[in-house]
Amino acid sequence: MTSRRLDRVRRAVEAAAAREGFALDADQSALLDRLVRLGDELAGARRRPVRGLYVWGPAGRGKSWLAGAFYAAVAAGLPAGAATRVHVYDLFRALHAAIHAQRVSALAGPRPAVGQGGPTRGWRTRATAPVAEPTPPGPSENSPEPRPGAVDSAIDGLLRGTTLLCLDELHLHDTGDATLLTRLLRRAFATGVVVLATSNYEPGTLLPNPLWHHVAEPGIALLRAHLDVVELAGPTDYRTLGGRGRAGFAAGAWLRPGTTAQLGARGLRRPGADEATAVRTGSRTFPVAAARAGELWVAFDDLAGRPTSTLEYLDWSVRFPRWVVTDVPLLTSVDREAQQRFVAVVDVLVDADVELVVTSPHALTTFRTALPDRPDAFRTASRLQLLTEDAGDTVPADDVPRV
């Protein structure tokens, strides 16, 4: 990249920061230097392979923001479709959906008779060949593992035409996802795709559960072999500055206790009993207090107390640009599954930049400091600081919404 092109990328990122009202600090500027060099190698005609970048560090340091601003500046200079940026939740959702589609397509097509070759030959009678990397516990009979061909086809579909793949908020707590990531990375690096990843976790701490960490080790080895690992350190969690006056998630609020007046001040109208309905994702339905045009109202117990998943949250984040989650308790008072679901909700809504309004009997500071020791809860504590807190005045108990 010429000096002019180097300056263009740098100026584009710094201008994006200025538009949002801040300047890069020293650690962020040092990371931008490294990102600019990556852009140089991507744009230049280089014979040697381009090493990607793995950026990790504490929550709220601006890793995702910097990667996004860099991505926007560099993608403009690449052929259409050559750059892809995906959040880890969307990545695994897309891969699982593509694998399922491959399986359905294979089952729908003609299949040779047993003994005539093809996929039925010996499938149920012979053990599978050993694989190179460790595998998680086998799936249940009700959810058979997809054949390797389906996985490879799904990965190839995701990577087709890609030069730069940005993986945002990379974290692993599931052995199946760890195995998929390893296969994705192996294919990406074999075909010359350059990877830029952001994470709160140093590569060696991905999938931290010591019982299953070995499943992630092949992928970790690939990350270290093909990416430069850079920590974005520094003392400031920029989310402590709040999100007042901004759009998307940062335009949201934490309302305590969530009175009619507090809601009305934000242009919100508490749903009536006749608005109770259900929202559908795939073949499943879920009760909600209201599903208005662009606005979802749901009680915490219905959102996190029921067996919902990131699949639903991702779907609803597209359909509803504003969520109102009511009656949010301290997470220490609910079970571990509900705790993890709420953590996932916040992750998905931040990434989709969906406005979140919470009503709770507890102050935001109390909620944040009482978060249990759950995977990624530290990130939730940081992200919730983007919300404006309205503690209201002392109100009669019968004015507190129960939606």
Concatenating the DSSP letter of every residue in 67-127 gives HHHHHHHHHTTS-TTSEEEEEHHHHHHHHHHHHHHHHHHHHHS--PPTTSSSTTTTTTTSP
Give this prediction's pTM.
0.72
Structure tokens at 80: 């259409």
Residue 117 has pLDDT above 50, yes or no: no
Structure tokens at 363: 């102050």
Who has greater pLDDT, 139 or 196?
196
Q: Is 242 left (phi over 0), alpha (psi -120 to 50) or beta?
A: left
Structure tokens at 378: 């530290």
pLDDT at 78: 85
Measuring CA to CA, which residue among 332, 303, 324, 316 is closest to residue 255? 324
Q: Please list the helix, strand and coil fractions of the chain in percent, rounded to the nearest 5, in that order.
A: 45, 15, 40
The per-residue pLDDT for range 39-86, each reduced to its tens digit, is: 988 877 455 689 999 999 988 888 999 999 999 999 888 888 899 999
- Determine phi and psi for 126, rounding to 5 degrees: -120, 145
What's the one-letter identity of residue 359?
Answer: T
Residue 166 has pLDDT above 90, yes or no: yes
pLDDT at 401: 45
Using a 10 angstrom Cβ sphere, with 0-12 exposed, 13-18 middle and 19 or more buried, the burial of residue 217 is: middle
Mean per-residue pLDDT, 104-126: 50
Q: Average pLDDT over the chain, rounded to whole?
A: 85
pLDDT at 135: 45
pLDDT band at 21 (very low <50, low <70, confident <90, very high): confident
Residues 199/202/208/213 CA torsion (nearest 10 deg): 110
257 cis-preceded (ω within 30 degrees of 0)? yes
pLDDT at 141: 40
**CA distance linking residue 117 with residue 71, whole number of Å:** 47
**CA distance linking residue 101 with residue 231, whole number of Å:** 38
The per-residue pLDDT for range 331-377, each reduced to its tens digit, is: 999 999 999 999 999 999 998 999 999 999 999 999 999 999 888 99
